[in-house]
C-alpha cells in the first residue's frame, strides 16, 4: 500500500514537472524581437514606467525620498 502510494506520488510529481516545463517552453519559444525604442514604447503603452497609469499609487514623487521618515 505504501509503495503504491509512493509510486503514484512520484508519477504525479513527474507529470506536474513535465507539464510546467512544457508550458514554459511553449511561452518562451518565439519571443518578440524589437529594438530598445520599440520596447520602451510598448512598456509605456502597457502601463510601465514613465506614465501616471504605471504608478502603483496616487502619491506624488516628492513623498518617495529620504525626508519622509523611512529608515
Q: How far apart are CA 26 and CA 24, in angstroms?
A: 5
Q: 16-27: per-residue pLDDT in tens?
A: 999 999 999 999
Query: What Rg, from alpha-carbon coordinates, does the chain have?
Result: 23
Can you give the pLDDT at residue 30? 84
Can you give the pLDDT at residue 29? 87
Domain boundaries, the chain: 1-27
More confident call, 22 vs 70: 22
Q: How far apart are CA 26 and CA 29, in angstroms?
A: 5
CB of 54 closer than 8 Å to CB of 48: yes
Amino acid at each position: 500500500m505504501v509503495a503504491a502510494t509512493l509510486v503514484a506520488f512520484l508519477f504525479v510529481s513527474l507529470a506536474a514537472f513535465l507539464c510546467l516545463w512544457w508550458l514554459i517552453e511553449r511561452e518562451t519559444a518565439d519571443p518578440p524581437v524589437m529594438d530598445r525604442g520599440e520596447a520602451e514604447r510598448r512598456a509605456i503603452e502597457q502601463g510601465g514606467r514613465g506614465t501616471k497609469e504605471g504608478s502603483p499609487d496616487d502619491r506624488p514623487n516628492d513623498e518617495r525620498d529620504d525626508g519622509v521618515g523611512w529608515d
